[in-house]
Amino acid sequence: MFKSKGLARQHQQNRLKKLVADHPDKKAAEEKQLHQKLFASSFWQQANHVALTHAMAFEVATEPIIQRAWQEGKFVYLAKVEANRALSFRLVTEKTPLVQSGKLGLWEPTSEVTIAKDSLDLVIVPALAFDFVSHHRLGFGGGYYDRFLFEYEGASVGLVLEEQSGLTWPVDQHDQAVQYLIK
């Protein structure tokens, strides 16, 4: 059990960055399996409007998910950080340019078309770690997904690398659980 979320975050960032640097093939193989399980799930097959992030190198890759969604004729929305620590999800097509922004250098969509929370069918939620018992997630500390998932009624899923499981940290009252975890 980590004493604070901050310590757990630091530990996980180092662990995931080490995985990309030292064992990129292991990460890629795990990701491939996670993607296949996602594509086989009923909540993926039933989803028409899918929200996700453009992943950083040490996160679970989302590019193959985006490509697959387009192939299957789904609508894809990518996260953009807004004022007051809110998130919006903006429609992206093959033609939508992404721009790098913020301290973390996240790639975000330039499109102006946003989707309302209640119109999304599936949200693929990023995290540094997930807890398989409670389905809680450890994020980067912005609380973006806690705010978004509060009163969100569609499906939500986390894709969990071996290196993103097995730890525990203090849970706060505002922490929102993810509906499905794929490992």
Site residues for ligand ATP per CB under 6 A: 5, 138-147, 150, 172, 174-175
State which residue, 162 or 172, has the beta carbon closest to ligand ATP.
Answer: 172
Q: How far is the CB of 71 from ligand FFO (least distance, A)?
A: 22
Minimum distance between the CB of residue 174 and ligand FFO, rounded to whole angstroms? 13
State how far the Cα of 33 lies from the Cα of 183, in Å rounded to an integer. Answer: 8
Instruction: Copy the structure tokens of residue 54.
Output: 């453009």
**Pick from 161, 176, 131: nearest CA to 20:** 161
145 touches ligand FFO (CB under 6 A): yes
Q: Which two tokens stand for residue 2?
A: 């980590």
End-to-end CA, the chain: 21
Contact 125, 145 (CB under 8 A): yes
Cβ closest to ligand ATP, residue 64 vs residue 143: 143
Three-state secondary-structure class, residue 88: strand
The binder of ligand FFO chosen from 141, 150, 165, 166 (CB under 6 A):
141
Interface with ligand FFO, residue 144, by CB under 6 A: yes
Residues that bind ligand FFO (CB under 6 A): 53-56, 59, 79, 81, 87, 102-104, 106, 126, 139-142, 144-145
